[in-house]
């Protein structure tokens, strides 16, 4: 024991030496490498202001990069863009925000997935003041899109990219069978039944069936049947309307869907459709280039678009802001950040970016010929039609969106598997209510 102790002292000595030596070395390397990479921003005292935009890997981000020199010329504000894939973006920004970092000036975020959590945690600066300074600023924005970035009449962001659920269909198959484009869910089911041809490898209908991923695309069905996720803080997953919607959606995929829908999020479902193996497909409008670009789709010239079919309660498809811009709460350059947001949200800029295929939130741009030039004609019409009666959320607006989606996804799965939907709904109802209660 004693010997051991002496040994420890010696060892500690050697170690201390080693640590001291190498930390000195590490120190050297530190200065070496930081000169190797670009020196950290210490330019704040200069006149040129630089703001940092943390953005998603998104066509919008690519498009805006090309326009930045113009903004810099106009305002003298330099914009630095960091971009990440969506889940990583959430991780990265939440760590930075949680540590009270001042480094995020403008942030691109998903209002429905992260918005409530970020907003409640105080990550965003309130934009209401900036917006109210401009006269009638919000008048030109699609109301349901604005709804996604508002709470208690305060704005924590401005809608940037919008999307809505549309019906993708195969023109050639419908024509051959002499079927009209379905306008109601009832007609959709009849048409899917008629076109379902498993012997030739063509399914009548395909859509997402993977647990959480399916929830957003199911939401339009739910609203069409008159149901909703919740009302006044109470889960409404077991309402008769909701049950009908779950049964309808599950039935459609169970009877007329391809094999393996339970594993399908959009990349898989889209692949089935673009390989010519399904007649109908419901998903977000923002995915359309996957279906119409010949380098990605084997049926590029045969794809048609229609507004989301109406249910017993009318047509209430989701029409949401999938991406929005916010200002970091700790940013020291909030005015410059607002300058930038105002510029990218200006009518001219939205028109320019929308002409490149980035669906914006301005009504006047959707009404202009220039704004819809890049979109297939029937798709632009469908989006405009959906915009009239759209719902501002495609998932329950809660803080724990992830677990809520998992619970609701369980009912969808039960429906697709042809199991007892009511029993599944009752179970999910309890779980979902627990989430709602915990957030009160």
Partner 1 sequence: MSEKQSPIKSIFTHFGVYFVLFLFLLPFLWMLLASFKTQVQILNTEKIFEITANFNNYINVFKEYNFLSFIWNSFVVAAGATLFGLILGLPAAYSIAKFKQQGFGLLILVARIVPGISFLIPWFIIFSKLQLIDTYTSLILSHMLVTMPFIIWVMIPFFEGLPHELEESARVDGCSIPGAFVKVMLPISGPGIVTSSILAFIFSWNNFMFSLILAGDNTKTLPIAIFNFLSYSEINWGGLMAASVIITAPVLVIALFAQRYIIAGLTGGSVKG
Task: Mark residue 100 as left, alpha or beta (left: phi above 0; alpha: psi -120 to 50; beta: remaining).
Answer: left
- Report how far residue 408's alpha carbon sits from residue 397's, in angstroms, rounded to the nearest whole number: 13
Q: Is 176 in the site for partner 1 (CB under 8 A)?
A: no
Q: Is 66 in the site for partner 1 (CB under 8 A)?
A: no
Least gap, CB of 21 to partner 1 (angstroms): 8
Per-residue x/- track, 142-161, partner 1 (CB under 8 A): -------------------x
- Mark the segment that binds partner 1 (CB under 8 A) among 100-108, 121-129, 362-370, 425-433: 100-108
In the chain, the N- to C-terminal Cα span, in Å, equals 58
Residues 1, 2, 37, 153: which binds partner 1 (CB under 8 A)? Answer: 37
Q: Is 260 in the site for partner 1 (CB under 8 A)?
A: no
What is the SS3 string spanning 303-361?
Answer: EEEECCCEECCECCCEEEEEEEEEEECCCCCHHHHHHHHHHHCCHHHHHHHHHCCCCCC
Q: Is 114 in the site for partner 1 (CB under 8 A)?
A: no
- Report how far residue 395's alpha carbon sits from residue 408's, in angstroms, rounded to the nearest whole number: 10
Size of the site for partner 1 (CB under 8 A): 61
Decide whether 178 or 294 has the Cβ nearer to partner 1: 294
**E strand or H helix that includes residue 384:** helix 377-389
- 169 Cβ neighbours under 8 A, 6+ residues apart: 181, 279, 280, 281, 303, 304, 305, 306
- Mark the segment that binds partner 1 (CB under 8 A) among 90-98, 172-180, 182-190, 255-263: 90-98
Query: Rounded to 5 degrees, what are φ and ψ at 203?
Result: -90, 155
HSE-CB for 358 with a 13 A CA cutoff: 22
| Strand partners for 107 | 54, 326
SS3 content of the chain, % helix, strand, coil (to 5): 55, 20, 25
Decide whether 179 or 287 has the Cβ nearer to partner 1: 287
Per-residue x/- track, 298-337, partner 1 (CB under 8 A): x-----------------------xx--------------
Q: Is 284 in the site for partner 1 (CB under 8 A)?
A: yes
Decide whether 250 or 328 has the Cβ nearer to partner 1: 328
Q: Is 122 in the site for partner 1 (CB under 8 A)?
A: no
Collapsed DSSP state (helix, strand, coil) of residue 99: coil
Q: Is 10 in the site for partner 1 (CB under 8 A)?
A: yes
Q: Is 82 in the site for partner 1 (CB under 8 A)?
A: yes
- Report how far residue 197's alpha carbon sits from residue 173's, in angstroms, rounded to the nearest whole number: 11
Least gap, CB of 275 to partner 1 (angstroms): 6
Least gap, CB of 5 to partner 1 (angstroms): 10
- Report how far residue 317's alpha carbon sits from residue 309's, in angstroms, rounded to the nearest whole number: 9
- Mark the segment that binds partner 1 (CB under 8 A) among 36-44, 120-128, 397-405, 429-437: 36-44
Q: Is 287 in the site for partner 1 (CB under 8 A)?
A: yes
- Mark the segment that binds partner 1 (CB under 8 A) among 19-27, 209-217, 248-256, 423-431: 19-27
Q: Is 413 in the site for partner 1 (CB under 8 A)?
A: no
- The total number of residues shown for the chain amounts to 440
Per-residue x/- track, 189-228, partner 1 (CB under 8 A): ----------------------------------------
Return the number of other C-beta atoms located less than 10 Å from residue 85's C-beta.
Answer: 12
Per-residue x/- track, 364-403, partner 1 (CB under 8 A): ----------------------------------------
Q: Is 289 in the site for partner 1 (CB under 8 A)?
A: yes
| Strand partners for 50 | 78
Q: Is 8 in the site for partner 1 (CB under 8 A)?
A: yes
- Report how far residue 361's alpha carbon sits from residue 90's, in angstroms, rounded to the nearest whole number: 22
* Burial class for 221, CB neighbours closer than 10 Å (0-12, 13-18, 19+): buried
- Mark the segment that binds partner 1 (CB under 8 A) among 86-94, 190-198, 331-339, 423-431: 86-94
| Strand partners for 162 | 321
* Burial class for 89, CB neighbours closer than 10 Å (0-12, 13-18, 19+): buried
Q: Is 86 in the site for partner 1 (CB under 8 A)?
A: yes
- Mark the segment that binds partner 1 (CB under 8 A) among 25-33, 69-77, 308-316, 377-385: 25-33
Least gap, CB of 413 to partner 1 (angstroms): 23
- Report how far residue 276's alpha carbon sits from residue 200's, in angstroms, rounded to the nearest whole number: 11
Residues that bind partner 1 (CB under 8 A): 4, 7-8, 10-11, 14-15, 17-19, 21-22, 25-26, 29-30, 33-34, 36-38, 40, 42, 56-59, 80-86, 88, 91-92, 95-96, 98-101, 103, 161, 267, 271, 274-275, 284, 286-287, 289-290, 294-298, 322-323
């Amino acid at each position: 024991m004693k010997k051991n102790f002496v040994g420890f002292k010696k060892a500690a000595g050697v170690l201390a030496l080693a640590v001291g030596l190498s930390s000195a070395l590490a120190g050297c390397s530190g200065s070496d490498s930081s000169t190797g990479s670009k020196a950290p921003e210490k330019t704040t005292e200069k006149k040129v202001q630089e703001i940092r935009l943390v953005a998603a890997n998104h066509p919008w981000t690519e498009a805006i990069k090309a326009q930045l020199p113009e903004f810099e010329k106009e305002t003298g504000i330099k914009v630095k863009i960091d971009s990440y894939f969506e889940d990583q973006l959430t991780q990265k920004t939440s760590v930075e925000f949680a540590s009270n970092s001042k480094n995020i000036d403008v942030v691109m975020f998903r209002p429905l997935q992260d918005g409530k959590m970020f907003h409640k945690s105080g990550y965003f600066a309130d934009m209401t003041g900036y917006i109210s300074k401009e006269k009638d600023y919000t008048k030109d924005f699609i109301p349901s899109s604005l709804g996604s970035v508002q709470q208690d009449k305060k704005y924590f962001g401005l809608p940037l990219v919008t999307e809505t659920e549309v019906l993708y269909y195969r023109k050639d198959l419908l024509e051959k069978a002499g079927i009209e484009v379905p306008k109601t869910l009832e007609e959709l089911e009849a048409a899917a039944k008629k076109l379902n041809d498993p012997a030739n490898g063509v399914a009548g209908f395909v859509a997402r069936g993977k647990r959480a991923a399916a929830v957003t695309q199911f939401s339009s069905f739910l609203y069409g049947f008159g149901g909703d996720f919740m009302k006044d803080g109470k889960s409404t997953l077991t309402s008769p309307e909701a049950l009908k919607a779950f049964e309808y959606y599950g039935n459609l995929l169970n009877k007329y869907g391809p094999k393996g829908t339970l594993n399908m999020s959009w990349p898989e479902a889209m692949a089935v459709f673009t390989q010519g193996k399904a007649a109908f497909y419901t998903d977000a409008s923002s995915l359309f280039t996957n279906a119409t670009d010949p380098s990605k789709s084997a049926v590029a010239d045969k794809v048609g678009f229609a507004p989301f079919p109406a249910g017993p309660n009318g047509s209430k498809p989701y029409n949401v802001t999938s991406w929005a811009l916010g200002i970091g709460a700790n940013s020291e350059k909030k005015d410059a950040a607002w300058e930038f947001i105002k510029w990218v949200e200006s009518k001219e800029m939205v028109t320019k970016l929308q002409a490149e295929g980035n669906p914006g939130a301005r009504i006047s741009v959707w009404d202009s010929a220039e704004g819809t030039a890049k979109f297939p004609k029937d798709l632009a019409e469908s989006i405009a039609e959906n915009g009239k009666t759209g719902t501002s959320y495609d998932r329950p607006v809660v803080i724990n969106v992830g677990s809520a989606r998992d619970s609701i996804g369980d009912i969808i799965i039960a429906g697709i598997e042809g199991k007892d939907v009511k029993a599944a709904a009752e179970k999910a109802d309890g779980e979902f209510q627990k989430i709602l209660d915990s957030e009160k």
